[in-house]
Amino acid sequence: MAVFASGLGAPETPRHLKDGGWLCVEMAPPRTGVTYVAADGTSRQIAPAGCPNGLSIDADGGIWVADTVPPALLHVTMDGTVKTVLTAGDTGDFLLPNDLCFSSSGLLYMTDSGMTMADWVVDGAPRPDWQTADFDGKLWEIDTKAGTARAVDSGLKFTNGIAFGPDGNLYINEMITGDVFRYDVTDGKVTGTCQHFANVLAPDWQAGFRGPDGMGFSADGRLWCAVYGEGVVAVISPEGKVIERLSTIGNAPTNIAFGADGETKIYVTEHQFGQIEVFDVDAKGWPLFDGAA
């Protein structure tokens, strides 16, 4: 492993660009917003945001950002233009937009952790009753062209990471329980109910708050999940078993992404030291959808 980029403020959601650079978001001051990281690891801000958590890039180069303060879905361009697209869906306001990804049909799916950031973070840390707090986490299905959002599922305990797999299904995780869930998908649209797939938590953990964060698939069907607080990326087999735990330098990995097409590396954003770490692995990434139907 090595450090690819440093000096970042609570980075999240690394996404590779065609020019060899990367985008990520920075959640912590002094530079909260969307950040460009060049191939040499140097970085600069593209656009400011309140406390952005996830991002996805569409076929036109538009950047879709899940912002938490205030809760909103933003559209950002590389020239720094920021537009608020949505702040609510069919069942109410967004609370803590977290992570997002496009489907093969062009729909955008977004997790919402189910509690505002002001209620979740107390004195700079997760609230003391995080294990028993009342969450109403949701999975939103967003039509970016129509500007509408539909709640596909609700009542989840801190919904976080999200990814489409090579099997065509959608996967999300629940940070409090450590569970990963799967939804059947037909023609790029979630059609099935929530099914339990895996749990990523180390059974002997005694060190406080931890849980699954961002995740992504390799082309062979393994799911790679950053486990915040445990300092690992858990590798899950297609059968739902944790088969490996890759230790990160910092204890708070937040998300992962595979490198350019054909590159057998993962890039991991890490909160504790404010950096992007890179690992050589034995797999290539499963391509992300770009919003084109």
Would residue 65 count as lying in a domain? yes
Range of the domain at 62: 2-121+131-280
Residue 157 included in any domain: yes
The answer to the question of residue 288 being in a domain is no
- Indicate if the pLDDT at residue 207 is higher than 80: no
For the beta carbon of residue 284, count every other beta carbon within 10 angstroms. 17
What count of residues does the chain have?
293
Is residue 289 one of the residues assigned to a domain? no
Q: What is the mean pLDDT of residues 120-140?
A: 94
Copy the structure tokens of residue 43: 């970085």
Identify the CATH number of the domain in which residue 201 sits. 2.120.10.30
Instruction: Give the long-range contacts of residues 87-93, CB within 8 A, separation 24 or more.
Output: 88/149, 89/138, 89/140, 89/142, 89/148, 89/149, 89/150, 89/151, 90/148, 90/149, 90/150, 90/151, 91/138, 91/151, 91/154
15 domain residue, yes or no = yes
Please report whether residue 70 resides in a domain.
Answer: yes
Note if the pTM is more than 0.75: yes
Q: Flag whether 69 is in a domain.
A: yes
Looking at every residue in the chain, the average pLDDT score rounds to 96
Q: Could you tell me if residue 268 is inside a domain?
A: yes
As for how many domains the chain has, the answer is 1
Confidence of residue 233 (pLDDT cuts 50, 70, 90): very high
pLDDT in tens, 66-123: 999 999 999 999 999 999 999 999 999 999 999 999 999 999 999 999 999 999 999 9
Backbone angles phi and psi of 163, in degrees to 5: -165, 145
Whole-number pLDDT of residue 192: 87
